[in-house]
Structures are given as C-alpha cells and as structure tokens.
Amino acid sequence: MKKPTKPILFLNRIEIDKKACIKLYFRNNQQILTRIRANDWIEFDARYSIYYLEEKDRTIGLLSDLFEDIALVRLDYLDRLPQKNKLNKETCVGTGFDTYKIEKTRKLRELTVYSIDLLGVEYLVIKQHFANDLYRKIKTETFIQWHKQKKFWYLKNTKENFTRLFKLLSNEYKIKLSTSVQVSDTEIRQMLWEQSYKKNKYFKSVPNEFIDYLVINNYAENTISTYYSQVFHFINTYRTKSLDQINGFGASEIDKYHMGLINRRGLSATTINQSVNALKLYYRVVARVKLKLDDITRPTTKKSLPKVHSIEEIQKIIKQVDNLKHKAILLLIYSAGLRISEALNMEKDDVLFDRRLVFIRKAKGKKERYTLLSDNMVMVLKEYMRFWNPEKYLFEGQYGNKYSDTSIRKVLDRARNKAGVAKKGGPHVLRHSFATHLLEQGTDLRYIQELLGHNSSKTTEIYTHVSTRNFSKIKSPGDFLTI
C-alpha cells in the first residue's frame, strides 16, 4: 500500500461528562495543531490532554471539510473502542507532543546577582568573567562598572538599572538573585519568573493584581513564588483561551485541570493542593466571579510522620563539620528548633546571650517569637563571632549578604554521609529532632508549640507520634508467650 502523503487525523467517538463527543487524534503535526487552535469551538480536555467537540448532526462533515486540505481524515475509527474506550496518555493528542508544555528558551548558563553596601549605598554585584563580545558590550555601558580591587561588576540597585542589566544579559544568562537581594517591584519579579519561557502569541503573564495582592498581604516569599508558578502554568495550559475566558471557568474546569496533572504527570497530592490554594485565591482576587470554589476537589494527602535523628546521630553529624560557621549554623538550627530561613535571616543583635534566648524576627507568616539559646550554643556562637566578626547578619556570605541555604544543605549532606547516618533529609530534620527530643524529656507540648512558632497545637501534636518517650513502660504481648 502506498504511504499517504498527508498526515492522518483520526476521529473517534467517546463520551466526556456524559456527552457524546468526537475526539481528534493525530501524530505530532504542527499544521494540524495550528488549525485546531484557530477554531475555538474545538475544546481541550486538560484531564486527558485531548482535543474534542460535542457531536451534533453535522460535526463529522464540518471536521472533514476543515482538515481535508492538510490531512487525511480517517472516519473508519469512529466507533473503534481501544482499551474499552479508556482515555489515557497513549490516546492523547499525539505521540511526542505535550500540549501542556510551555515552550522554554534554550538552556542558559546561570548568573547570580548579589547585594552589597558601599559607603551607605546599596549596589548589585556580579562576579563573572564574560566572553569577549559580551565583555566589550558591557564596557560601553555607563550604568555598570568594574571594581578593580574586589574584582566584580557593580551597579546601583534601581529598577531602571536592573531592567537594563536584564536586557543586556538575558540572551546569554538566566539571572538568579542571592537571598541578599530584596525585590518588591512587580515588573522585575515577573521578568525573573518568566525568563525561562518563550513569549509567543499564546504566552500569558499572571496579572499584576494577583502579585500585588500577595505582596501587600505579607505572604512569604516562597508562597508568592509557588502561587505565581501554579497560576502561571494553569493559565498557559489553555493556549487558545483568552485570560477573560479562563477567568470565566468554574470549579469543574479547575477539577479537570488537576485531574490532567495527576493522570499525565503523576503529581503528588501536596502539589495539587498547593495549586488548589493558588487558584482559589486567584479567582477570588482577580476574576471576582461567584464560583462554588468549595466544590473544588482536593486530593487526600498522605499523613507521613516527620523524619527525626536521634541525639547520638546529631552528635555524630555535628562532629563531622570542621568549618566553624557551618557548625554554628547547624547547631543553632537544632538547638533552637529553627527553620533554615529563620537561621539565615537572623541578625547578630537577635542573639540575647544574657537571657539565653534568640529572637526570631522573620518567621513563617511574618510572626515573631523567642526560642532557646543553649549553653553549648553560647560557647560556639561567641567563638564564631570573635573569629568572623559579622556586621549585620549573624551568618554572612561573601559580600556581607545572608548566607546561602543551598550551601548549608550541602554541608549537612556531606556531614551526614561522613558520619555514616543513613537517614536522609534537609535541615528541617534538625528542627523536627529538636521538638521530638524536647517531648521525650517531658516538656509540655504547649511550650514546644511556642518555641516552634506553630499557630495550631495540632501541628505540634504530630511529634507525639514520633516520640518513643513512654514505649519502655509498655509491655509487648509477645512477652506474654512461653517460648
């Protein structure tokens, strides 16, 4: 048989939401895809990544006429039911084509921008040797200069300068910000978040109104970036839909989208719940539509217990850390029950040696609290501060900025491996261990809740399931046997 010169478009009868529909199936073909997107009466089902439309009297004829010039439309598969008409990834839009995938730019090298104070003025710093052509281009710019003594490029931290820097470097580099650089401007935030994606005709930015709402209402930085990412991927899934059309979606469309993420990518219940939270807020703030958002389906999250190290394991890990700054950070996280961000945000004046307390000023949810400063921690911190003499932050990076959390995670991993501790996990395991060890010593759960900064006692109660405090008092029924 002679191979057809045109790509094949299969039409197949299926049932979607109890309606008789026609599904369009084709191998990866951009011409067919462009034709589909130009006709908004052809729907996209996010659950199964398929294009379809409800079947009416003239549906078959309309589809045949629409595609006959670019494809061979096959009608002989109309009533074929592969795998009992089960919709799955293999019966999607086409092999090798991912409808969800937002087109990315080519992979770029990463460049980190730091913040530094020079004579009372805040500057942005780049420690980078550029290729000759880019170097010559940068040298012609007046807004950025080379510091001969310190061997870095620097520029005043203004919106105008950052925008010029971004335009100058974004074709060659993906720009990352050190934790020392605080950005409040919405346009710059979007510039950084969206730099990995191609701005084609289907691209949609998240409305500034949503980002401004998160900032004004003091959402944590991690929450802002997570919510932005979830909303960004949602609105860009529906490429042929305008933002106004997407804002008119109801709970059923949102459920379909999340089912698509689960079926296609196998995302966890935790990630889906983050998306639900972000989209609920987006529709309330931006769309301002009366949706029954409580009807949105939430997957049940697995109730997993926190990982905890024993006191002996903590001892082994700390002993493997030779660098005084690294040892001080890890020991402080454990002995005070801190989140890693709380330790790295801490300023040197937040350590109250006389009261044996540390003050947490930038905790989760913008709350403040005090927690414990152990006698061992006092000795380690005083030795560390004499040697390093930090200016503002207790733990400072190369340019006086906050220390990198990535570095600390690597230090902990190396120390754990050298200590022969098989149990994995990041710095948060040290915080979990702090709470569990206090509970095992008989500390009241209400005090532990205060030290950890938990809003609800239910959050703290999870440590009662990890603690083995009273296990020794329980007699196993196995000991009742005569063996």
Q: Answer positive or negative: Cα dihedral of 145, 148, 151, 156.
A: negative
* Catalytic residue selected from 227, 257, 334, 463: 463
* Catalytic residue selected from 307, 364, 369, 414: 364
Using alpha carbons, list the distances in angstroms from residue 224 to 158, 210, 249, 282, 383. Answer: 22, 10, 23, 12, 37
* Whether domain 105-187 has CATH 3.10.450: no
- 95 falls in which pLDDT band (50, 70, 90)? very low
- 367 falls in which pLDDT band (50, 70, 90)? confident
pLDDT at position 26 is: 85
Q: What are phi and psi of 236, to 5 degrees?
A: -90, -5
Q: What is the pLDDT of residues 377-400, one digit of tens each?
A: 999 999 999 999 988 889 988 766
Distance (Å, whole) CA 363 – CA 343: 10
Could you please state the CATH topology (level 3) that the domain comprising 311-465 is classified under.
hpI Integrase; Chain A (1.10.443)
For the CA atoms of 40, 92, 238, 196, the dihedral, rounded to the nearest 10 degrees, stands at: -140
Q: Is 428 a catalytic residue?
A: yes
Q: What is the pLDDT of residues 427-476, one digit of tens each?
A: 999 999 988 888 888 888 888 888 888 877 777 777 766 665 555 554 54
* Catalytic residue selected from 339, 402, 416, 437: 339
Letter string b/e over residues 52-85, b meaning 16 or more CB atoms within 10 A of that residue's CB? bbebeeebbeebeebbeeebebeeeeeeeeeeee
The domains of the chain are located at 8-91, 105-187, 197-302, 311-465
pLDDT at position 302 is: 64
Say what percent of the chain tops pLDDT 90: 31
Nearest Cα to Cα of residue 306 among 122, 461, 174: 461
Would strands 19-26 and 43-45 be described as parallel, antiparallel, or unpaired?
unpaired
Q: Is 465 a catalytic residue?
A: no
* Catalytic residue selected from 189, 325, 431, 432: 431
Q: Is 258 a catalytic residue?
A: no
Q: Is 35 a catalytic residue?
A: no
Q: What is the pLDDT of residues 416-427, one digit of tens each?
A: 999 999 888 889
Q: What is the pLDDT of residues 124-166, one digit of tens each?
A: 999 888 889 899 999 999 999 999 888 899 999 999 999 999 9
Distance (Å, whole) CA 73 – CA 9: 5
* Whether domain 197-302 has CATH 3.40.50.2030: no
Q: What is the mean pLDDT of residues 69-73?
A: 89
